[in-house]
Structure 1
């Protein structure tokens, strides 16, 4: 009998991390029903981060709230209170791209994320974990900061409209009224190291995913540069900090607030006790929707594989598509290969995740 740890991230837009782990386990059991399976759903700061904490931390409690969604329509969501007084707030659950149809690259904003942060502060949290990823907007975090007491004003000293478009009217930034972060600090959970500006910045890399064509990307970039240039002098250089471009520049806004940048997947792995679970296992299975060149920059599968390597345990990768060499894995399975194409895999992700689990059980 073998002990297998199953720790995938979500398959974005098709299967949550918890559902992916359950499907992989179901497939494995069809071949090797006597094996001991330990499920540890993972996240890297994007969609599903709250779920990962909720499933792993005994006593975690969801606190329901209603916030303005990415274009201000009400969204019923929650933030998570951990037993030690830490609040977990997930941008994808308040201002995420999955909450918006059609996309609105110039007008989507992060005000709802700020409202969730404010709710956690009002509840007296001792520490904040701020999960970035899956953003619908490119507003530099201005929507969130405005809720938290920042002032972003036009030439007539009026608040600029929410969203990146409003940044084009920006004339003055006043952050003196920002609420203080809690005594234990605020930590950003993110899976990207992109800067705010430039060819690897928030607009150029992530703008097209949010519905921006080439001309709109140029506008997004120009307006984010305007924001960076108008920030109080000691804060402008933060535009060049790794992770400042996360979630449409929300990383930049949170850094300006005083939050610290942390590795999303690494912190989630620590919280869910993944290292302890892996110790003594015979195999670790991880995965995500698409494994590509960005996956090695601290995303969940690479972090899981690193923990497995440190423990001397082989790791297997399951992904919807594998577009880069899966280094560090002893086996890999692409759902697109099993299903005969990416569209077929995305249409029935749980079916093909089960098939992947069975395939690994036969070949491992």
Structure 2
């Protein structure tokens, strides 16, 4: 039996590579004769470059030093790939703006900045990239990408790079360099690889949905919403609006799907002429997963928590979709399963399995994530692999 093991990371405990290896270890305990193909995956968040680097042997890695959300130097990388159409640079925004870079008592989206992501973009431009793919996800920021824009020369760091709340007092002329920076990117295909479709503002926007996960109280999240509203107002004063050719109405970039991704980084990239793609789709294409799935008898995917967000553009949904298209059975092994059987079946999944169900099991899984995941995979193998 040929089994493709293609998980996302188990956030906070295992990288995608570690998760795939743990699943494979458990599977081999029960079904040692099965052929296993390990394909670690990412949706654009943390691990994006690791996954692509492992799947693209022709890529070279450019090491850079950038600012973290609080302005401290951290190591990062740009993955450069030569192609027939030119040079592509892959960036992972979480390397510069990631929540994991902050201690628990440092998580404050009122003051964290995306300046370092702008430095990554600058490095990609300096490498002569004609296509830049930015993985969005896992951020500890909520500044609408204002820090990124400041790093590229759109405006002063004192106004744009002090976090989301500083945008509440933004002057009308704070973005005077926007047109010049847009021209720098005019010959570059700029791609937002995002796992969410949230707009920048509103009940489904960056502040309302994601700021609380980054340390914001309800009151701070509401204040950040107002600050981002002022930011959008200044952008609209600075950048002439274009018209949607389909509706004839002004094209509001802040309302575009994914504008709210990574605390609004998507919005800043839209301002520079970017377009959005599914982060999962970008990765699945790069690693050639469709061909692997089509040749397999079973696909096993996984993530830390299989919940409602998993149904909307995450790795599990992407893998299940490919498996459905190729008529290959697929199952998910997750740290916790919070989605009912009916919802799972809408993705085409043939089974869902949790490592932990009770509070005690969750505690055990956190203490030994590799061992508990391997043990669960061994039990799943007993169900799905024919016994010899």
Question: Please, what TM-score do these two structures have when normalized by structure 1?
Answer: 0.95
The yes-or-no answer on 1:271 pairing with 2:291 is no
Instruction: Kindly provide the CA deviation profile for residues 133-191 of structure 1, in whole angstroms up to 9, marking residues without a partner as x.
Output: 011100000111111221269xxxx7444211221220132212215227450110000
Instruction: Kindly provide the CA deviation profile for residues 304-357 of structure 1, in whole angstroms up to 9, marking residues without a partner as x.
Output: 001011111000101111111222211211111399432322222111221122
Is the 1:95–1:135 Cα contact (8 Å) retained in structure 2? yes
- How much has 1:245 moved relative to structure 2? 0.7
* SS of aligned partner of 1:222: helix
Match of 1:289 among 304, 313, 316: 304
Is the 1:338–1:352 Cα contact (8 Å) retained in structure 2? no
Partner in structure 1 of residue 245 of structure 2: none
Q: State how far apart, in whole Å, the 2-side matches of 1:182 and 1:271 are.
A: 25
Partner in structure 1 of residue 373 of structure 2: 353
- Aligned pairs for 1:317-328 within 5 A: 317-325=332-340, 326-327=344-345, 328=348
Q: State how far apart, in whole Å, the 1-side matches of 2:361 and 2:304 are.
A: 14
Change (3 A) 1:291 1:244: same
Match of 2:113 among 89, 109, 113: 109
Q: State how far apart, in whole Å, the 2-side matches of 1:254 and 1:196 are.
A: 12
- How much has 1:131 moved relative to structure 2? 0.4
Higher helix share: 2
Match of 2:214 among 210, 214, 226: 210
The yes-or-no answer on 1:303 pairing with 2:305 is no
Q: State how far apart, in whole Å, the 1-side matches of 2:323 and 2:160 are.
A: 49
- Aligned pairs for 1:126-137 within 5 A: 126-137=130-141
Match of 2:95 among 73, 93, 96: 93
Partner in structure 1 of residue 248 of structure 2: none
Q: State how far apart, in whole Å, the 2-side matches of 1:297 and 1:340 are.
A: 29
- How much has 1:267 moved relative to structure 2? 1.1
Partner in structure 2 of residue 12 of structure 1: 11
Q: State how far apart, in whole Å, the 1-side matches of 2:148 and 2:375 are.
A: 42
Moved more, 160-169 or 51-60: 160-169
Is the 1:125–1:182 Cα contact (8 Å) retained in structure 2? no
Q: State how far apart, in whole Å, the 1-side matches of 2:225 and 2:159 are.
A: 21
Unaligned runs of at least 5 residues, structure 2: 243-250
Q: State how far apart, in whole Å, the 2-side matches of 1:18 and 1:221 are.
A: 37
Change (3 A) 1:211 1:339: closer
Change (3 A) 1:188 1:272: same
Partner in structure 2 of residue 76 of structure 1: 75
Is the 2:150–2:161 Cα contact (8 Å) retained in structure 1? no
Q: State how far apart, in whole Å, the 1-side matches of 2:160 and 2:322 are.
A: 46
Partner in structure 2 of residue 176 of structure 1: 179
The yes-or-no answer on 1:47 pairing with 2:46 is yes
* SS of aligned partner of 2:181: coil
Instruction: Kindly provide the CA deviation profile for residues 276-305 of structure 1, in whole angstroms up to 9, marking residues without a partner as x.
Output: 111121100001111111111111100100
Instruction: Kindly provide the CA deviation profile for residues 62-92 of structure 1, in whole angstroms up to 9, marking residues without a partner as x.
Output: 2111111110011012121123221110011
Q: State how far apart, in whole Å, the 1-side matches of 2:207 and 2:361 are.
A: 30
Is the 2:80–2:90 Cα contact (8 Å) retained in structure 1? yes
Question: Please, what TM-score do these two structures have when normalized by structure 2?
Answer: 0.89
Change (3 A) 1:130 1:160: closer
The yes-or-no answer on 1:332 pairing with 2:346 is no
Is the 2:304–2:336 Cα contact (8 Å) retained in structure 1? yes
Q: State how far apart, in whole Å, the 1-side matches of 2:88 and 2:129 are.
A: 6
* SS of aligned partner of 1:248: helix
Q: State how far apart, in whole Å, the 2-side matches of 1:205 and 1:88 are.
A: 27
- How much has 1:200 moved relative to structure 2? 1.1
Q: State how far apart, in whole Å, the 2-side matches of 1:363 and 1:150 are.
A: 57
Change (3 A) 1:80 1:161: closer
Partner in structure 2 of residue 35 of structure 1: 34
Root-mean-square deviation (CA, aligned residues, Å) is: 1.7
Partner in structure 2 of residue 191 of structure 1: 195
- How much has 1:219 moved relative to structure 2? 1.1
